[in-house]
């Protein structure tokens, strides 16, 4: 009887031993060491550019900063965009750029580790640890370009975003996750990172790659084909970190968007049920976490112009979350740039062309403060000299007939800006001087010598605000008629 048991059990033990001792992905370590990056704008741009030049990248896949304006100064809020597995920044375009522009944020478009490289062996070296390191660096860059960091992400970028918010709660202000990868929507996914998982996939697919029908435009921004080793690593990442322990450590405001119309029409790539369970388990107060379906998106990727069918709804929900939950102020339509780029704005109208022509042809060092005609009442210049003032002594102003070109000749000042939205009136509209004064929230920009801004009638603005202390400013304001 004992021999019979041995004969039966021994082969089973051998088989189990062979299986469990078989090849499988190594367990990730996820170092908590936080990277250091340059803080000066020029050095940071060079740092990113130099790192990207270490690889042969596919066109438009490189990491880069999109600065809120030409001054390249740190903004109150920055946005970092983390793309998903086998993707690129285009997976969130134009949602990430439109959001950053709407709220005046510097934007960092990350290229996650091993992605975007022009090679026949795409994602061969991909591991959770390498992905984690690139996510931490993106957060470090976000901190360098903004006082508070908002992480926007798609799919596995959302996996990283949740991990960052859990590991560095003081450094992540908010999350905007599109289709976060909490669990892969594949009934056999659990096999991928188990012993012999890679070998099983090789047999099942008949090769070493996962591939899709060629699509030249999409293939520029997504890996196709890519090595199956990366799939085993992806499943290891998700199983190891997408759990209640991680989610409960997330305390920041969170917006989660996902594709779900009905049981037959929902995200085919990641599990919606897992996304909703994650949202429930977040440590974020219920009043600051939002999960919303985008039923007409048509697929997993919500934010890309190449594949999403409802970008408008995604942008609407992101802006609603930003204004209602984060209390961000939507920026105005105003333009800020360096005077050497003035040629770009001459075609706004023939009157703007005259204004910029006047700037280009005039030596302002020879002019005293005062009013100077350019084209009758349609375009005229005001040369001003004054000392900047504390914030509490300044007021928001707005115009109806004229747009302002405000060009700093010497000195620097802060300017409060906000779109007109029926703010409280402090001083009623003065028809003669085309000005009214208002009270309300606003954000600020800094204008230095050589910078100019264009304020249209919908752009309330508060000039003459001191930067650190009162200081002299010499400024040219050109009034350009845009209304009757």
Q: What is the pLDDT of residues 172-221, one digit of tens each?
A: 999 999 999 999 999 887 777 777 777 888 888 889 998 999 999 999 99
Does residue 364 have a pLDDT over 80? yes
DSSP characters over 246-259: HHHT--S-EEEEE-
Considering the domain architecture, whether residues 349 and 286 belong to the same structural domain is answered as no
C-beta atoms surrounding 193 within 10 Å: 21
pLDDT tens, position by position, 387-408: 999 999 999 999 999 999 999 9
Both 345 and 268 in one domain: the answer is no
Give the pLDDT mean for 305-327: 94
The DSSP annotation for 326-362 comes to S------S-EEEEGGGGGGGGGG-HHHHHHHHHHHH-
pLDDT of residue 435: 96
- Shared-domain flag, residues 462 and 341: yes
Strand partners, 435: 430
Check pLDDT > 70 for residue 1: no
- Considering the domain architecture, whether residues 250 and 346 belong to the same structural domain is answered as no
In a domain, 149, yes or no: yes
pLDDT band at 21 (very low <50, low <70, confident <90, very high): low
Q: Give the separation between CA 120 and CA 385, rounded to whole angstroms.
A: 62
pLDDT tens for 44-53 read 999 999 999 9
One domain for residues 276 and 416: no
Kindly state whether residues 427 and 467 are assigned to the same domain.
Answer: yes
Out of 279, 295, 324, a domain closes at 324
Integer Cα distance of 340 and 342 in angstroms = 6
Please tell me the total count of domains within the chain: 2
End-to-end CA distance of the chain: 105
Strand pairing class (75-82; 106-109) = parallel
Containing structural domain, residue 55:
21-324
Q: For residue 15, is it within any domain? A: no
pLDDT tens track for 234-244: 999 999 999 99
Nearest by Cα to 155 from 242, 78, 283, 36: 242
Asked if residue 293 lies in contact with residue 267, where contact means CB atoms within 8 angstroms, the answer is no
The band of 26, judged by pLDDT with boundaries at 50, 70 and 90, is: confident
Q: Is the dihedral of CA 476, 480, 483, 484 positive or negative?
A: positive
Answer yes or no: is 4 within a domain: no
Q: What is the pLDDT of residue 443?
A: 85
Residues 374 and 257 in one domain: no
369 half-sphere exposure, CB direction, 13 A CA radius: 7
Whether 157 shows a pLDDT value over 80: the answer reads yes
Q: In this structure, is residue 3 part of a structural domain? A: no
Q: At what angle do helices 229-241 and 197-205 cross, to 10 degrees?
A: 130
CA of 465: how far to CAs of 13, 17, 97, 458, 473, in Å? 78, 73, 29, 20, 10
The enclosing domain of 205 has a CATH number of: 3.40.50.1820
Per-residue CA distances from 336 to 151, 353, 381, 405, 450 (Å) = 25, 17, 18, 10, 11
Q: What is the per-residue pLDDT for 89? A: 98
**CA distances to 87, 154, 247 from 160, in Å:** 14, 10, 12
Same domain, 379 and 306: no
- In a 10 Å sphere around its CB, with 0-12 CB exposed, 13-18 middle and 19+ buried, how is residue 158 labelled? buried
Point out which residues pair with 412 in neighbouring strands. Answer: 448
**Domain boundary residue, one of 300, 324, 348:** 324
Q: Is 11 among the domain residues?
A: no
Same domain, 300 and 364: no
The residues near 246 (Cβ < 8 Å, ≥ 6 apart) are 162, 163, 166
| Helices assigned H by DSSP within 84-175 | 95-102, 128-145, 156-167
Note whether residue 41 is domain-resident: yes
CB 468: neighbour CB atoms within 10 A?
Answer: 8
pLDDT score of 344: 85
Residue 97 has, within 13 A of its CA and on its CB side, a CA count of 14
If pLDDT is split at 50, 70 and 90, which confidence band does 141 have?
very high
Asked whether residue 138 is assigned to any structural domain, the reply reads yes
CATH code of the domain in which 470 resides: 2.60.120.370
Predicted pLDDT at 241: 97
User: Does some domain include residue 10?
Assistant: no
Q: Are residue 349 and residue 456 in the same domain, yes or no?
A: yes
Mean pLDDT within 132-151: 98
**Segment 267-285, tens digit of pLDDT:** 999 999 999 999 999 999 9
Same domain, 260 and 355: no
413 phi/psi in degrees, rounded to 5: -155, 160
Examine the domain organization and report whether 164 and 81 are in the same domain: yes
Angle between helices 95-102 and 311-324 (to 10 degrees): 30
89 close to 57: Cβ distance less than 8 angstroms: no
Gap between the Cα atoms of 232 and 112, Å rounded: 17
pLDDT digits (tens, 9 = 90+) for 83-111: 999 999 999 999 999 999 888 899 999 99
Three-state SS annotation for 56-69: CECCCCCCEEECCC
**Is residue 195 within 8 Å of 20, Cβ to Cβ?**
yes
> Do residues 162 and 277 touch, judged by C-beta distance below 8 A?
no
Q: Can you tell me which residue has the tokens 């975007």?
A: 116
Question: pLDDT-derived band of residue 249, with 50, 70 and 90 as boundaries?
Answer: very high
Among 274, 296, 324, identify where a domain stops: 324
Residue 110 C-alpha from the chain's centroid:
9
């Amino acid at each position: 009887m004992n021999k019979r048991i041995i004969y039966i059990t021994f082969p089973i033990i051998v088989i189990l031993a062979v299986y469990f001792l078989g090849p499988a992905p190594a367990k990730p370590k996820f170092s908590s060491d936080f990277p250091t990056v340059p803080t000066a704008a020029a050095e940071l741009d060079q740092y990113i550019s130099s790192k990207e030049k270490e690889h042969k990248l596919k066109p438009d896949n490189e990491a880069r900063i999109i600065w809120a304006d030409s001054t390249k100064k740190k903004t109150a809020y920055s946005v970092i965009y983390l793309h998903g597995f086998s993707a690129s920044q285009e997976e969130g375009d134009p949602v990430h750029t439109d959001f950053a522009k709407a709220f005046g944020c510097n934007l960092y478009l990350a290229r996650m580790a091993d992605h975007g490289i022009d090679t026949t062996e795409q994602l061969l070296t991909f591991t959770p640890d390498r992905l984690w390191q690139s996510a931490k660096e993106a957060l470090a860059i976000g901190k360098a370009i903004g006082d508070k960091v908002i992480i926007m992400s798609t799919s596995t970028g959302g996996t990283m975003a949740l991990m960052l918010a859990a590991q560095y709660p003081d450094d992540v202000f908010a999350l905007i996750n599109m289709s976060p990868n909490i669990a892969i929507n594949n009934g056999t996914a659990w096999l991928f990172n188990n012993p012999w998982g890679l070998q099983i996939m090789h047999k099942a697919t008949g090769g070493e790659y996962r591939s899709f029908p060629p699509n030249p435009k999409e293939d520029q921004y997504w890996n196709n084909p890519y090595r199956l080793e990366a799939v085993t690593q992806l499943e290891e990442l998700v199983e190891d970190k997408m759990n209640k322990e991680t989610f409960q450590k997330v305390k920041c405001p969170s917006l989660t968007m996902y594709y779900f119309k009905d049981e037959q029409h929902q995200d085919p790539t990641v599990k919606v049920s897992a996304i909703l369970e994650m949202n429930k388990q977040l440590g974020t107060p219920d009043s600051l976490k939002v999960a919303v379906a985008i039923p007409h998106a048509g697929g997993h990727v919500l934010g890309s112009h190449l594949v999403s069918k409802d970008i408008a709804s995604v942008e609407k929900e992101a802006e609603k979350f930003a204004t209602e939950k984060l209390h961000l102020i939507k920026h105005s339509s105003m333009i800020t740039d360096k005077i050497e780029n003035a040629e770009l704005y001459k075609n706004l109208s023939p009157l703007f062309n005259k204004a910029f022509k006047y700037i280009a042809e005039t030596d302002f060092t020879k002019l005293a403060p005062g009013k100077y005609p350019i084209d009758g009442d349609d375009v005229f210049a005001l040369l001003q000299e004054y000392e900047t003032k504390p914030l509490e002594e300044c007021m928001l102003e707005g115009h109806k007939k004229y747009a302002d070109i405000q060009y700093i000749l010497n000195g620097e000042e802060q300017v409060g800006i906000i779109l007109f939205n029926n703010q409280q009136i402090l001083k009623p509209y003065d028809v003669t001087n085309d000005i009214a004064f208002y009270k309300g929230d606003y954000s600020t920009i800094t204008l230095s010598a050589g910078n100019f801004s264009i304020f249209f009638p919908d752009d309330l603005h508060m000039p003459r605000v001191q930067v650190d202390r009162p200081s002299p400013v010499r400024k040219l304001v050109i009034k350009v008629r845009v209304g009757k």
